[in-house]
């Protein structure tokens, strides 16, 4: 009898302990990371519902989303994808979709947590209509690659304290039917832009030329640290969008002053003279075998001796071996490496990085003579 009452008391104490713990977690007005990390399905479900209501009803959405970030809620939400409970996965995806719809800056955080891949995995794992719809919408928001959408991209260090990136730029995107492949911000463009900002010694104090700028992600970002950047592309509609995006970002950040726009068609224009750049960038510009000769020519004619062209290129693109040959034919030293994946953690394809340095042929000829 006494043994039984002891066991009963012990069980009661444990239950009380758990109740205290739960009431501490349930009773709080905000959801804590610990509650999402618990093994208690009921607590997780309640917390997720509370979180969804809280985001939906919070009038100051941006600060609410920052607050979730500072409490480590986003990684905990993604961890719940592995949960066995269908209802929990449904709620997590709904919460992520709601967060992703609200704020482009938050999307950068979700992307850096590999949100796109994690959501894509759900598309393969589940047949539940709600999960599929919400996951697809969230992926679209994270990529922000809908026509005529504004794609926000955070660059540099992210401060958990202020919930902001060192730099935040926005790019108005176009429609494929109007401007072909120039229509959107490409992952290789974001990646190269981040690499540029990570390598200021190459760009600071320099005049930089960008070829095939599209909507301008890499060139405009390079404008944050370079002396001057000339961004170029070749149709009126793209040039207009580039001008709009330069203006938009000059309003967003006072650091951006010296970015100018000019039309330059690799195939039909002569390279303006004088046009001697030490540094040229151009992300995702190798994609069409028919264009690589014209592209290589423009690079050759626009670079000073010993100048360098930097580009990123998804490994699946066409024209890569032809581009390498075209550059080597022009006596360039071509270094091809795998682009570090941390610059574009959620891209679908691996990306190459090319550093093409123009050999100082004149100097070589002079040295041979001497
Ligand atoms: C795949 S997009 C990359 C855009 C941008 N650099 C990015 O990473 O987001 C290729 C770019 O090359 C440009 N392009 C194609 N042919 C061109 C030409 N003949 N002259 C100038 N630019 C050209 C396109 O307009 C487009 O903007």
- Whether the CB-CB separation of 94 and 55 falls below 8 Å is answered with no
Cβ < 6 A, ligand 1 pocket: 181-182, 185-186, 188-189, 212-214, 217-218, 233-234, 238, 265-267, 283-285, 287, 291
Q: Tell how far the Cα of 325 is from the centroid of ligand 1, in angstroms.
A: 20
Closest Cα partner for 259 from 290, 287, 219? 219
* Sheet with 277-281: strands ordered across: 259-263, 228-233, 207-210, 277-281, 303-314, 351-358, 332-338
Q: Is the pTM of this model over 0.95?
A: no
Q: What is the pLDDT of residues 128-154, one digit of tens each?
A: 999 998 998 899 888 877 788 888 899
CATH code linked to domain 153-369 = 3.40.50.150
SS3 category, 340: coil
Q: Convert the pLDDT of each residue in 290-336 to its tens digit.
A: 999 999 999 999 999 999 999 999 999 999 999 999 999 999 999 99
Name the residue with the closest Cα to ligand 1, atom 11: 212
CA 216 to ligand 1 center in whole angstroms: 10
pLDDT on residue 19: 42
Residue ranges of domains in the chain: 31-143, 153-369
Q: What is the pLDDT of residues 66-90, one digit of tens each?
A: 888 888 899 999 999 888 799 999 9
Distance (angstroms) between ligand 1 centre and the Cα of 212 equals 4
Q: Give dist(CA 234, CA 145) in Å, integer.
A: 21
Task: Give the three-class secondary structure for 179.
Answer: helix
Q: Which residues pair with 168 in a beta bridge?
A: 154
Measured CA to CA, the distance from residue 47 to residue 32 in angstroms comes to: 8
- Contacting residues for 289 by C-beta, under 8 A, at least 6 apart: 318, 319, 322
The class level of CATH for 31-143 reads mainly alpha
Beta strands in the chain (DSSP E): 150-159, 164-172, 207-210, 228-233, 259-263, 277-281, 303-314, 332-338, 351-358
């Amino acid at each position: 009898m006494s043994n039984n009452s002891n066991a009963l008391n012990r069980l009661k104490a444990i239950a009380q302990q758990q109740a205290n713990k739960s009431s501490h977690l349930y009773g709080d007005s905000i959801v804590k990371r610990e509650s999402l990390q618990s093994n208690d399905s009921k607590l997780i479900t309640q917390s997720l519902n509370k979180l969804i209501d809280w985001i939906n009803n919070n009038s100051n959405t941006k600060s609410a989303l920052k607050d979730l970030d500072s409490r480590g809620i986003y990684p905990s939400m993604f961890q719940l994808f592995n949960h066995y409970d269908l209802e929990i996965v449904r709620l997590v995806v709904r919460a992520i979709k709601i967060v992703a719809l609200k704020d482009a800056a938050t999307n950068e955080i979700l992307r850096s947590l590999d949100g796109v891949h994690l959501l894509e995995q759900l598309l393969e794992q589940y047949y539940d209509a709600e999960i599929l719809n919400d996951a697809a919408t969230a992926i679209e928001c994270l990529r922000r690659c809908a026509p005529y959408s504004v794609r926000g991209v955070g660059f540099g260090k992210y401060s958990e304290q202020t919930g902001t990136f060192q730099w935040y730029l926005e790019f108005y995107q176009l429609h494929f039917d109007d401007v072909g492949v120039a229509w959107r911000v490409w992952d290789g463009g974001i990646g190269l832009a981040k690499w540029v900002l990570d390598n200021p010694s190459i760009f600071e104090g320099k005049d930089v030329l960008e070829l095939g700028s599209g909507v301008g992600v890499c060139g405009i970002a390079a404008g944050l640290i370079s002396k001057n950047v000339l961004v170029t592309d070749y149709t009126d509609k793209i040039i207009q969008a580039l001008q709009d995006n330069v203006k938009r970002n000059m309003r967003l950040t006072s650091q951006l002053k010296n970015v100018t726009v000019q039309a330059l068609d690799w195939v039909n224009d002569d390279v303006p003279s004088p046009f001697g750049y030490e540094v040229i960038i151009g992300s995702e510009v190798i994609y069409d075998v028919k264009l690589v000769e014209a592209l290589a020519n423009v690079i050759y004619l626009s670079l000073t001796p010993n100048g360098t062209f930097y580009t990123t290129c998804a490994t699946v693109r066409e024209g890569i071996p032809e581009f390498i040959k075209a550059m080597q034919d022009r006596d360039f030293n071509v270094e091809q490496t795998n682009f570090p994946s941390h610059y574009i953690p959620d891209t679908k394809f691996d990306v190459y990085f090319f550093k093409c340095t123009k050999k100082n042929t004149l100097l070589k000829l002079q040295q041979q003579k001497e």
